[in-house]
Amino acid sequence: MKILVLNGSPKKKSDTFRLTDAFLKGLNYDNKHEVTVVDVIDKKIAPCRGCFDCWQKMDGHCVIQDDQNEILDLYRDSDVIIWSFPLYCYGMPSHLKAVLDRTIPLVKMRMVQLPDGTVRHEALADFSKIHTIVICGCGFPDWEGNFDGLKVMCRNCFGNLNVVCVPETPLLNVPQAAIVAEPLLERFKKAGEEYGATLTLSPETITELERPMISAEEYIRNVNGN
């Protein structure tokens, strides 16, 4: 399989990417897959300007000449795409959202209505073969509502989708928290193995991956230095 990882963290020492890296170790444990990691923060990706010139050309490329067209080629050719990023204002970081906004060249202007009544643009690329995983880390404890908006966006934008949203991810880079962080990383590795075998994650696995490492009360005390 060809696996594209869109790393949306702006930091080299990324909490969320530690989870993604563990997942990849499980998914590609036998080194049979082709894995490409794109550090989006290092790429030149302009915002979409809404010109729709891509719908005139219909070649799957954006008319803006920057690094996005390289990503579009990788995107269209991938079997699995992993979007890995920290939660920013209850959504994607802006530089990664620009990548998503500029996937418009992969669809047509023509609209189709699905059996459930949902209206979509007709696909130019073959999205049916692409499986998507979203791995998102958050600096809050598991408070209800933190990931709701993100999950709606992902369901609307991606098919063949698994979303894993993990609270308390700053603990992954705190040496004293290794006693709870290392078991989580091991769970992500095993989840990668599961995904490699089935191209999906069971609801039980996702629940285990999203389970907070410590209680909200303890986490807040540590963050506040109390």
* 8 Å CB contact between 168 and 154: no
Q: Report whether pLDDT(144) > 80.
A: no
Q: Are 122 and 112 in contact (CB under 8 A)?
A: yes
Question: Under a CB-based contact definition with an 8 Å cutoff, are residues 90 and 146 in contact?
Answer: yes
Supply the pLDDT for residue 118.
87
What is the model's pLDDT at position 148?
A: 95
Q: pLDDT tens for residues 174-215?
A: 999 999 999 999 999 999 999 999 999 999 999 999 999 999
Q: Which residue segments constitute the domains of the chain, with CATH numbers given?
A: 2-224 (3.40.50.360)
Beta-bridged to residue 4, according to DSSP, are 36, 81
Under the banding of pLDDT at 50, 70 and 90, the label for residue 18 is very high
Which residue carries 């579009």 as its tokens?
72
Pick the closest to residue 26 from 203, 212, 198, 213 (CA basis). 198
- Highest mean pLDDT: which range of 38-42, 126-130, 175-179: 38-42
What pLDDT is recorded for position 222?
87
pTM: 0.95
- pLDDT at 12 exceeding the cut of 90: no
Which amino acid appears at position 29 of this protein?
A: Y
- Can you tell me the distance from the alpha carbon of 137 to that of 22, in angstroms, rounded to the nearest whole number? 14
